[in-house]
């Protein structure tokens, strides 16, 4: 398959720049995959679209402020600041090391990062962040803009990042420098976010409110939490012409025994497993067995889903509208059928649905 088969025209004004005033006020395009038909609805009607005994699987990962702004330093020239540097924390590389320096507690960690300007950051380059309590040294060039950096934090690394880091919003959400928060935007977290570790939000979950979750429970729909930390793989661009040749980086997930048991009992009873978001899909499918049950496990996955993939773990999918030519659009097309999904996207454009992270959603059943 050629990458151009997954392209569509999207007017820039349909890219949602702000969330709606109320999370659950978003529109929802309901796609019936087998019939290749769709109808307009609203997210608040999700509980009425599901049956008692169905189970929704939500991703409880929590976004942390992974964007760090700093500047290069020259150790031999005290007080001299070099060019500005931006790093985006991607994935930790090994355990941390705690030690003391001049009687003060420090923590040393190694992370893979996206760095700008990448060309200027060669091995040995040193960077200072914030007020100097966090420093880093480039130890390896991975590829293009990615680097491996050893960080030394005065105190705890996570706590310091939470203090000086910035909201890791996608590049298509525009913010002036004066609007950039040092904390993750509250609406860029799901209401059930608990497990710190994502560099981007599992956006299908942004529509949920405590009231919608309560209505689902009242209607007899089960709610299962798993953890899949959204990483670089989720927004990694496809740079090949043939879809099948693309590869994605690993992301970590965890499915606890109680979660696997609830999913498997629903499957045995003939009820549907409804994945909330593409990250939930990738975790469940990575942990699936030939008999369509799922395993309790904690591991990394490089699973790349594109048309032709045979789903084993899920029966329905709630997801936002994704970028043209993206791996996320490939996954949705694999589930709903390429032609059906592309045509439904065209309807969404013509009907002025809002796209991407803060946009509307679609339910594929």
Please indicate, yes or no, whether residues 286 and 266 belong to a single structural domain of this protein: yes
Alpha carbon distance 143, 250 (integer Å): 16
For residue 362, the model assigns a pLDDT of 98
Residues 165 and 158 sit within 8 Å (Cβ to Cβ): no
Burial of 349 by CB count in 10 Å (0-12 exposed, 13-18 middle, 19+ buried)? middle
User: What's the number of domains the chain is made of?
Assistant: 2
Please indicate, yes or no, whether residues 57 and 102 belong to a single structural domain of this protein: no
Residue 360 forms part of a structural domain? yes
Residue 157 forms part of a structural domain? yes
Residue 328 forms part of a structural domain? yes
pLDDT, one tens digit per residue, over 242-269 is 999 999 989 999 999 999 999 999 999 9
CATH number assigned to the domain comprising residue 277 = 3.40.1780.10
Residue 303 has pLDDT above 80, yes or no: yes
Please indicate, yes or no, whether residues 158 and 304 belong to a single structural domain of this protein: no
User: For residue 202, which phi and psi values (nearest 5 degrees)?
Assistant: -75, 90
Residue 174 forms part of a structural domain? no
pLDDT band for 234, please (50, 70, 90 cuts): confident
Please indicate, yes or no, whether residues 77 and 56 belong to a single structural domain of this protein: no
CATH number assigned to the domain comprising residue 152 = 2.40.10.240
Q: Tell me the mean pLDDT in the region 163-173.
A: 83
pLDDT band for 131, please (50, 70, 90 cuts): confident
Residue 180 forms part of a structural domain? no
Please indicate, yes or no, whether residues 54 and 124 belong to a single structural domain of this protein: no
Using DSSP's 3-state secondary structure scheme, residue 45 falls into: helix
Residue 170 forms part of a structural domain? no
- The domain boundary residue, chosen from 102, 136, 165: 165
Alpha carbon distance 92, 111 (integer Å): 4
Please indicate, yes or no, whether residues 74 and 45 belong to a single structural domain of this protein: no
Dihedral Cα 352, 353, 356, 361, nearest 10 deg: -170
For residue 81, the model assigns a pLDDT of 72
Q: Tell me the mean pLDDT in the region 27-31.
A: 98
- The domain boundary residue, chosen from 113, 130, 165: 165
Please indicate, yes or no, whether residues 130 and 218 belong to a single structural domain of this protein: no
pLDDT, one tens digit per residue, over 78-93 is 556 788 999 999 989 9
pLDDT band for 156, please (50, 70, 90 cuts): very high
Please indicate, yes or no, whether residues 248 and 314 belong to a single structural domain of this protein: yes
Please indicate, yes or no, whether residues 241 and 127 belong to a single structural domain of this protein: no
pLDDT band for 186, please (50, 70, 90 cuts): confident
Please indicate, yes or no, whether residues 40 and 82 belong to a single structural domain of this protein: no
CA distances 70 to 88, 116, 154, 338, 365, Å, are 11, 10, 16, 43, 46
Range of the domain at 95: 67-165
Residue 318 forms part of a structural domain? yes
Please indicate, yes or no, whether residues 234 and 318 belong to a single structural domain of this protein: yes
Please indicate, yes or no, whether residues 59 and 78 belong to a single structural domain of this protein: no
Residue 30 forms part of a structural domain? yes
Residue 202 has pLDDT above 90, yes or no: yes
**Residue 358, token pair as written in the block:** 């803060």
């Amino acid at each position: 398959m050629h990458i151009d088969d997954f392209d569509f025209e999207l007017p820039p004004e349909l890219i949602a720049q702000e969330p709606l005033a109320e999370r659950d006020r978003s529109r929802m395009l309901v796609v019936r995959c087998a019939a290749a038909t769709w109808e307009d609805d609203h997210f608040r009607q999700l509980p009425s679209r599901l049956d008692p005994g169905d189970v929704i699987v939500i991703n409880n990962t929590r976004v942390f402020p992974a964007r760090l702004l700093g500047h290069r330093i020259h150790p031999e020239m005290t007080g001299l600041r070099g060019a500005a540097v931006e790093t985006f924390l991607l994935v930790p590389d090994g355990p941390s090391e705690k030690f003391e320096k001049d009687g003060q507690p420090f923590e040393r960690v190694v992370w893979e990062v996206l760095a700008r300007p990448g060309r200027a950051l060669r091995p040995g380059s040193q960077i200072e962040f914030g007020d100097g309590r966090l420093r880093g040294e480039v130890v390896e060039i991975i590829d293009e803009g990615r680097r491996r950096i050893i960080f030394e934090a005065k105190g705890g690394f996570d706590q310091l990042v939470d203090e000086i880091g910035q909201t890791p919003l996608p590049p298509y959400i525009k913010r002036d420098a004066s609007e950039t928060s040092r904390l993750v935007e509250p609406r860029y977290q799901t209401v059930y976010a608990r497990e710190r570790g994502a560099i981007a939000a599992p956006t299908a979950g942004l529509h949920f409110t405590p009231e919608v979750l309560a209505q689902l429970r009242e209607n007899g729909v089960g709610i299962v939490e798993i953890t899949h930390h959204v990483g670089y793989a989720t927004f990694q661009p496809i740079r090949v012409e043939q879809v099948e040749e693309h590869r994605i980086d690993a992301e970590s997930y965890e499915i606890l025994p109680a979660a696997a048991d609830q999913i498997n009992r629903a499957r045995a009873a003939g009820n549907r497993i409804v994945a909330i978001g593409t990250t939930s899909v990738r975790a469940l499918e990575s942990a699936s067995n030939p008999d369509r049950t799922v395993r309790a496990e904690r591991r990394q996955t490089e699973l790349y889903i594109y048309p032709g993939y045979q789903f084993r773990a899920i029966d329905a999918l709630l997801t936002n509208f994704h970028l043209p030519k993206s791996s996320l659009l490939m996954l949705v097309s694999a589930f709903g059928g390429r032609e059906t999904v592309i045509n439904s996207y065209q309807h969404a454009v013509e009907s002025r649905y809002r796209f991407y992270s803060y946009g509307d959603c679609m339910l594929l059943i």
